[in-house]
Structure 1
């Protein structure tokens, strides 16, 4: 709708000066009402009892909530640490498997060449440094070290006999083994990962990777919660507490303890129990003593380490968290009870004042009702006047809308006059062909050639259908808009209809047409006839702008932009001058000698009625490109 079609109506604001209202509220009475001392004494006693009960209950609830939060945090932390430990183990397990497939290792064991062993020393040394493995070494079939990453250190494994070690025996018999023990040379604990090398069913040797967990344990020490890892016997293998290593979680049978000491798996460690015992108050809670500290309460979380018989343990401290939670809960409960008592006290006080206020409120209500009745009469008169003015405005808008429709129809018929010649040419060709086919058919029938005559009749039917399409499009385009509400309109159908009307002009002027994205099934919310009029207007303008342009070209593109469809109509003509761009959508501004300057104004208003926008981009040598953006029709 044009901007000058809106009529502004002033609103009638009636604000009579209010008459002063006398103060109808009585003076407040004293807070304490005589004769109600016993009621206030009972109120105080009940308040004290409620406060004590709330403090006791809040403390218990706070402790339980804190324990549940600490337990959940401990479970999450344990799962994360187990995942990191498993990742470290998986990374190191791949190393002996890869080395067992290495041809250099197999060749060195087969030839027993000292030069090849020296080369392996350097290779193992580089691998140990790059992978973080503590030691990588190679044992011959007798269990004697022939190459090692620590070949140049005092603790070198080269020449040492490890045939007695379970990881060598396990790999020699089962192909691979894992064994956690205290190093008999380095006196440092670690996990030994071994893999057998064989050829034609004959054992060539065993490659061993020792993994130490100093970095893992150092990471655990950065957190306050104690953690430790136990094997299948309950012996602590890894721990964030140095003095807990090689102690036992629970009581270890004497026979089993003697067997472990005899195997020297953990050296001369005493295998004493950990200072951890179950707490009698709650299941899953333990009492533990750390070095230099008194016994404290912890949440005990136990998780299995995947791929190993190990168990991961985490102790989450609960005392401070439970104390803080209980204190916070008690403070909150005390505030809540005190607020409730305060509100109850105010309610008691106001109850005594309520009776005195009833009469004053009744008088004020009666006065207010009389003033409301008078004001209602004034508002009713103003409302009637406003209704009359609104009816005048509706009539004016209806007349304006009718004039706009007539203007749109006139613009449409003007375009029909411009494209009539091209459409007539489009119709004349099929009519001439129909006449020729009819004459030929008569000749064929005289000769008895029915098949050729039938073929000519089919061609006549196809040409007639083509003429029908062109005339239907002209009839549809020429009729007035139905005024129906916007609905789903296929973009391809609208573009095809517009090209049917202006296609002849484009071919007559030798204008090349480019289509992109039109046939992608896009649809917009619009009215087909009015949207087709906009496209015909833009295409007609482009055809006239390309009259003096060599190699003229017009493109029509469509694409989806968020929840809108953008339809672009552009040409490679001279573009629009700055003087026209400054007042492009102003009525009667045009570059055509016989133009009225209303086409783009009408097109913009039609697109705006559909809830869309019409924009243009132009520049010297770049032509003009109009973009219609309309809401996408969702099926």
Structure 2
């Protein structure tokens, strides 16, 4: 009898041992899979965030660079600069020193200086200081040689006098008689690097050779993203571009490649030990540079893996407990059946019913869990898309909009100032006063544009008013005269009837017209048969302004997203003009249409007509 009773006990022990092994294996596999899923989810989220942050940093870097780039272009054609280079007159050079000193204070440039064609600097904005550039020969500098050969150059290097790194932007000054010299502006990025450093996430910019130029980690400057070939390394050192910098590789080791622009790396920051980061690389448009951006991943990945494993345990433990409960229940039923044969059928019926109820409840629970997980995943995607769209809108309309919109008034002010100088030298007081009056008006306009763009950044709206259409068109053409001197004859305006007015704002309507006129004239550059037709027609309660050119048309690749920020076919364009145009027209109850083919492009602006 004892031998017979020991057989079920032995069989039960083996069953529970097997169950324990299977349960342990299931838990181990589930935790491993959950960890992989959590890690992947965390990295995907960091990738989305990192790409947005990197694009914002690139946009800010471009905005910082745009203003100083215009200075050499303007100064290379400045009569005072040309006169100082042509004539060996100390009074002209002294006056030029004062002018450069005044200009550098109003820009983000570090130093402005002018060299003769032999490379010797004759005037500099720092002529008063102990580190003055005046008299120093810069003929060995790459930016000087390339400007003399090609007309313009941009070159990042360590200053031979100041020992401070910066971007040198140069432009050749010349007249019909030949080359006279080079105008150079040096800009430094201390403020930009400080802003990056405050985020606590390393960012750096490398040139085409992989050398770090701009960085939020000072000790990384002039290190290399990868080992530089010996011949290239020798050439860089001989040029003194980076002084005596050792150009050693950065303390960054790649661990895993995620995509062409993303990888997981191990990096050592000053004062810390090696840690894992997500590295993103983004090209900087209009340059040969590349932005590198590091996001720490150890903490967010660990948190995501921990949450995923806790979720897996919350699902696995109840299921395993339910199975164990069923096993115990079945064993209890079997024992009762052995003791009470008479109640066997009733007990089996109840067991079947109970098992069915539990299975149905388990199925419902699993279905609900699956629905919750699907809903959570969709919500996260929607939230990420909203954050991405919001950041792009702010970036497009505030960070780079100011530089884009006030370029023409600044160029026009310079043209009026030069005219006033000529009139005063001739003793013609009246036309000089008129030019100065125009300068004051344009200065006020720049302030109005700046305040208006700030309002756009806050999603504000300028109150509508009745705007004379003829005056708005004339104002836009005036602002374009300086930049497109000699090319405005391609612009043909069919004057609207006197007194025709639309509901808008004068400054913002001029912004719309300037963008469209400028795009049309740039598309026709170099064409002998260039023509831009501007007209206005009254259609019921609307006025339709038409701007049509006979250019090559808009590329098909960007037509579908023509009014999307940062969508452009121009090599140095920001892609913000048409997006701002659409927003302005919509603010006053209008809309804009475009028709483009190989024979040209037409933009139609619909605005509400003001009835007298």
TM-score for both structures, normalised by structure 2: 0.49
Q: TM-score normalised to the size of structure 1?
A: 0.47
